[in-house]
């Protein structure tokens, strides 16, 4: 197929088929008619389809990252306005829940991202529990140690239930460090 006009027509037929502008069997018929039964051109068009799908994926990823960056910037600005702290905390909570739902769906599709999200969630819960202890129970070390033990217990149980070695090791090491600190430094 050396004719460039023929190539343009074939590309248009593929576009029609991909965007469902014509029924698929019409597009197949036209494709067979214009390629004169040559399979070589069809393989080139399959690679074109794949590249189009990759571009669409990249575009969706870029848009979602841009939305997350804008949201993060707005949240930082919201926290800088201390007069509206409770409203900011409420909005941040809702957005955090939305991000968790999105990351759960994202992690189901991408197996390599799931451990990163699990560790990030565990560290986030750990940080929140320490912050709550330091803010609301300022001089009460019993509450702090109780929350630390609860986090370690949660990590150990999660590691055992989900068969995640890094959570099991983190939980057990956390217990050991807390006990060692209690015995040797207090």
**Same domain, residue pair 178 and 150:** yes
Q: Which of the listed residues 109, 142, 174 is the one where a domain comes to its end?
A: 109
What range does the domain containing 82 cover? 55-109
Would 142 be classed as within a structural domain?
yes
**Same domain, residue pair 176 and 125:** yes
Would 136 be classed as within a structural domain?
yes
Q: Is the pTM of the predicted complex or chain greater than 0.85? A: no
- pLDDT tens sequence for the chain (186 residues): 457 787 788 788 878 887 888 888 888 888 888 877 765 445 555 656 666 777 777 777 778 777 777 777 776 776 666 566 666 667 767 777 777 777 777 777 777 777 887 888 888 888 888 888 888 888 888 999 999 999 999 999 999 998 889 999 999 999 999 999 988 887
**Same domain, residue pair 135 and 182:** yes
Q: Which residues are within 8 A (CB) of 119 and not within 5 positions of it... i.e. 6 or more apart?
A: 166
**Same domain, residue pair 136 and 186:** yes
Would 79 be classed as within a structural domain?
yes
């Amino acid at each position: 197929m050396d004719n460039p006009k023929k190539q343009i027509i074939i590309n248009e037929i593929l576009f029609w088929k991909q965007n469902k502008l014509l029924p698929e069997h019409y597009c197949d018929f036209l494709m067979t008619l214009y390629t004169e039964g040559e399979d070589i051109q069809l393989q080139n068009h399959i690679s074109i389809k794949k590249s189009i799908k990759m571009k669409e994926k990249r575009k969706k990823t870029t848009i979602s990252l841009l939305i997350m960056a804008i949201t993060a910037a707005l949240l930082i600005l919201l926290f800088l306005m201390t007069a509206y702290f409770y409203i900011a905390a409420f909005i941040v909570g809702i957005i955090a829940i939305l991000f968790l739902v999105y990351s759960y769906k994202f992690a189901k599709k991408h197996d390599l991202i799931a451990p990163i999200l699990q560790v990030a969630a565990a560290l986030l819960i750990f940080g929140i529990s320490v912050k709550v202890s330091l803010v609301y129970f300022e001089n009460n070390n019993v509450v702090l140690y109780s929350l630390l033990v609860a986090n370690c217990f949660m990590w150990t149980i999660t590691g055992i239930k989900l068969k995640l070695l890094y959570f099991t090791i983190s939980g057990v090491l956390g217990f050991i460090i807390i006990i060692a600190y209690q015995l040797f430094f207090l």
